[in-house]
Amino acid sequence: MRPWPGVLQAFADRLPVSDRTPPLSLREGNTPLVPSVSVARDLPDAELYFKWEGANPTGSFKDRGMVVAVAKALEAGAQAVVCASTGNTAASAAAYAARAGLRCLVVLPEGAVAEGKLAQARVHGALVASVACSFDAALRLVREASERLSLALVNSLNPYRLEGQKTAAFEIVDQLGGPPDVVVLPVGNAGNITAYWRGFCEALPAHRRPQMWGVQAEGAAPLVLGRPVERPQTVASAIRIGRPASWEGAIRAVSESGGRIFAVSDDEILHAQARLAQEEGLFVEPASAASVAGLLRLAREGVRVRGTVVAVLTGHGLKDPSSADRTPFPIRVDPTVEALAALLQITPAEGG
Ligand SMILES: *Cc1c(COP(=O)(O)O)cnc(C)c1O
């Protein structure tokens, strides 16, 4: 088997790249499609899989689009890239800029970025600016800065980001040996749902495309409400966005596919995160658990979820270790087998 070359090379014929595009790669993409063993029991009429995007090099799907955006910035002769970020875009931009030898400026809404993501941006050598405003205002700022300072903007407004992200749809069709019936994913800035739908439209004739189900957090659900949210609130920081940049794309994906967009509460998100960790062995960050929280909500409401369903798990749980704070802390015990046996409530065998 040939080693996986990364998104740019694997999908060169379906991406806007040429011989002049630098062959940038951290071997992103080709992420596992993991069958569900536990959540699936709540959806008896469905066959449920998880697209485990936390397995990408920086731990989120953002790498798929970032590799294309940074390669194209290099090709265009850029010296530096810039982004506003709720965290994962910054982590990915910082890593790919480091790989490409470009400077990287990331602008983060103060206090709104998970600890692991901030560590990634810093450790990869990005210049990290923290601003006292929302993500949406930070995005407006970097758009203006990219124009006036001639920096390459690598937010999902950059069309190469969505081009790269659409490759996850190609992988799902390959991995299943055919199209799924439903794809469910968390929606923040709405670039990813837009990109998946583009990928399915390119890969499949109209009658074989899956329904796109988008899930937002109740406190940050502009697409569900039909209007921007001024002060979005949710534990799921990666989807804490009140004015999605790809608003139209998300609405089109949902309506053209006959899908749906709805919201779940933070409690439902944290419950789904715990189930994924404790019953599936998959530690995802809260935003990623929104897709599964959405499926569980529908199941509880008596909606029959049928066919092959893929829930996209967008990012790794290690990025947001504070989300483990609700689970039991270590228990202090004496360093003896008897003390461990007492914890497990079992009787130790004699001797040893
Ligand atoms: C960026 C991100 C999202 C949201 O994707 P959008 O394209 O902004 O809708 C969801 N989950 C994680 C982990 C992310 O990093």
Mean per-residue pLDDT, 264-288: 97
Mean per-residue pLDDT, 54-61: 98
> Quick one: CATH architecture of 7-60+161-326?
3-Layer(aba) Sandwich (3.40)
CA distance 25 to 23: 6
Atom of ligand 1 nearest to the CA of 315: 13
With a CB cutoff of 8 Å and minimum separation 6, the contacts of 8 are 15, 17, 21, 23, 24, 25, 67, 68, 71
Within this chain, domains 7-60+161-326 and 62-158 share the same CATH topology: yes
Token pair of 11 as six digits? 């999908």
- Ligand 1 pocket by Cβ (under 6 Å): 60, 62, 88, 156, 186-192, 238-239, 285, 287-288, 314-315
| Out of 194-203, 273-282, 314-323, least confident range | 314-323
CATH number of 62-158: 3.40.50.1100
**Cβ contact 285:323 at 8 Å:** yes
**Does the pLDDT at position 351 exceed 60?**
yes
Q: Name residue 315's beta-bridge partners.
A: 60
The structure tokens 């130790």 sit at 348
CA of 145 to the centre of ligand 1 (A): 23
**Does the pLDDT at position 53 exceed 90?**
yes
CA distance 272 to 280: 11
SS3 state of residue 2: coil
pLDDT band at 352 (very low <50, low <70, confident <90, very high): low
- pLDDT, residue 327, reads 84
pLDDT band at 270 (very low <50, low <70, confident <90, very high): very high
> Strands, E, within the chain: which ranges?
33-35, 46-52, 80-84, 103-109, 127-131, 152-153, 182-186, 211-217, 260-264, 307-313
**Does the pLDDT at position 337 exceed 90?**
yes
**Does the pLDDT at position 82 exceed 80?**
yes
CA proximity to 28, closest of 57, 49, 68, 48: 57
- pLDDT, residue 86, reads 87
Task: Identify the residue whose C-alpha is closest to ligand 1 atom 2.
Answer: 238
Concatenating the DSSP letter of every residue in 177-229 gives TS--SEEEEE-SSSHHHHHHHHHHHHHS-GGGPPEEEEEEETTB-HHHHTS--
Mean per-residue pLDDT, 72-89: 96
Mean per-residue pLDDT, 273-294: 98
CA of 63 to the centre of ligand 1 (A): 11
pLDDT digits (tens, 9 = 90+) for 190-228: 999 999 999 999 999 999 999 999 999 999 999 999 999
CA proximity to 120, closest of 74, 63, 164: 63
Mean per-residue pLDDT, 147-157: 94
Atom of ligand 1 nearest to the CA of 61: 15
With a CB cutoff of 8 Å and minimum separation 6, the contacts of 182 are 46, 210, 211, 213, 259, 305, 307, 308, 309, 310
Please state the domain extents for the chain: 7-60+161-326, 62-158
- pLDDT, residue 136, reads 87
The structure tokens 């070359």 sit at 5
Task: Identify the residue whose C-alpha is closest to ligand 1 atom 8.
Answer: 189
CA of 191 to the centre of ligand 1 (A): 8
Give the chain's mean pLDDT.
96
CA of 38 to the centre of ligand 1 (A): 24
- pLDDT, residue 294, reads 98
| Out of 62-66, 239-243, 319-323, least confident range | 319-323
CA of 199 to the centre of ligand 1 (A): 17
CA distance 55 to 32: 8
**For strand 46-52 and strand 33-35, is the pairing parallel, antiparallel, or unpaired?**
antiparallel
CA of 351 to the centre of ligand 1 (A): 54
- pLDDT, residue 113, reads 87
Atom of ligand 1 nearest to the CA of 288: 11
- How far CA 85 is from CA of 97, 111, 298, 352, in Å, comes to 15, 12, 31, 55
**Cβ contact 70:141 at 8 Å:** no
Mean per-residue pLDDT, 333-346: 95
Q: Which of 60, 154, 284 is the pocket-test mutation for ligand 1 (most atoms within 8 Å of CB)?
A: 60
> pTM of this prediction?
0.96
Task: Identify the residue whose C-alpha is closest to ligand 1 atom 4.
Answer: 188
